[in-house]
Amino acid sequence: MKPWLARVIVAMAVLFAVAVLTLAITVKVWTADLPNLDEVRAYRPPESTWLLDKDGRLIGEFFEERRRCVATAAIPRHFFLSVLAAEDANFFQHGGFDATAIGRAVLYRVTGRQLQGGSTLTQQLVKLLLLNPERTLKRKVREVILARRVEAALSKEEILTLYANHVNFGHGRYGISEASRYYFGKAPKDLDLAESALLAGLPQAPARLSPRVNLDAAQRRRSYVLRQLAAKRSTHWPDLSAEAISAAGGRPIEITPPPSVPDGAFEVLSEARERLAALHPKINLNTAGLTVTLTLDLSLQTQARAALAKQLGELDARLFQRFLSEGLKLAKVPKADAAEPQRGALLRGELAAIDATSGAFEVRVGSRSYRLATGPNTRDHALRGKLEARFKDGKRAVPVRFIGGERVEVAVGPEGAIVVIDPHEGALRALVGSRADRPGFNRAVAALRQPGSAFKPIVFGQALTSGRYTHASRLFDAPVSYEAWQPQNYEPWHFRGQVSLREALAQSINLAAVRLTESVTVPEVIRFAQSLGITRPLTPDLSLALGSSEVTVLELTQAYAVFAAGGIYRTPRLIAEVRDPKGARLEAEVVASRRVTSEASAYLLTSLLRSVVTSGTGRRAQALPFETAGKTGTSNRARDAWFVGYSTELCAGVWVGFDDRRVLGAGEGGSSVALPIWVATMQAAASKPAPFAAPSSLVALRLDPQTGRRLKPEQAAAGQGELAYFIPGTEPPLDDVEGDIDASLDAALFEE
Instruction: Kindly report, residue by residue over 308-345, the tens digit of the pLDDT.
Output: 988 887 887 676 545 454 544 555 666 655 677 776 67
Domain ranges of the chain: 1-30, 67-249, 329-410, 416-462+475-574+592-688
Cβ atoms of 109 and 75 closer than 8 Å: no
Q: How far is CA 563 from CA 45, 155, 424, in A?
A: 48, 60, 10
Condensed to tens digits (0 to 9), the pLDDT of residues 211-243 reads: 999 999 999 999 999 999 999 888 888 888 899
Q: Which fold has domain 416-462+475-574+592-688?
A: Beta-lactamase (3.40.710)
Same fold yes or no, 67-249 and 416-462+475-574+592-688: no
Distance CA 542, CA 521 (A): 9
Distance from C-alpha of 529 to C-alpha of 646, rounded to nearest angstrom: 18
* Distance in angstroms (rounded) separating the CA atoms of residues 635 and 622: 23
Contact residues for 129 (Cβ-Cβ < 8 A; gap 6+): 35, 43, 146, 166
d(CA 364, CA 408): 10
Instruction: Please give, one letter per residue, the 3-state secondary structure of 134-160.
Output: CCCHHHHHHHHHHHHHHHHHCCHHHHH
Higher pLDDT, 295 or 14: 295
This prediction's pTM:
0.82
Q: What is the mean pLDDT of residues 441-467?
A: 94
* pLDDT > 70 in the chain, percent: 84
**Lowest mean pLDDT across 94-108, 236-250, 426-440:** 94-108
Residue 193 contacts by C-beta under 8 Å, 6 or more apart in sequence?
78, 82, 244, 245, 247, 248
Looking at the DSSP bridge assignments, the partners of residue 498 are 476
- CA torsion 26→28→30→32, rounded to 10°? -160
* pLDDT for res 468: 94
Rounded to the nearest 10 degrees, what angle do helices 137-153 and 121-130 cross at?
A: 110
pLDDT in tens, 458-504: 999 999 999 999 999 999 988 888 888 888 887 777 788 899 999 99
Q: Tell me the one-letter amino acid at 724.
A: A
Mean pLDDT of 184-190: 95
Distance from C-alpha of 267 to C-alpha of 287, rounded to nearest angstrom:
21
Are 271 and 431 in contact by the 8 Å Cβ rule? The answer is yes
Report the distance separating Cα 315 and Cα 305, nearest Å. Answer: 15
CA dihedral 683, 685, 689, 694 (to 10 degrees): -90
User: Which pLDDT value is given to residue 408?
Assistant: 77
* CATH class label, 329-410: mainly beta
- The per-residue pLDDT for 611 is 96
**Quick one: CA dihedral 267, 271, 277, 283, positive or negative?**
negative
User: 3-class DSSP state for residue 228?
Assistant: helix
The CATH class of the 67-249 domain is mainly alpha
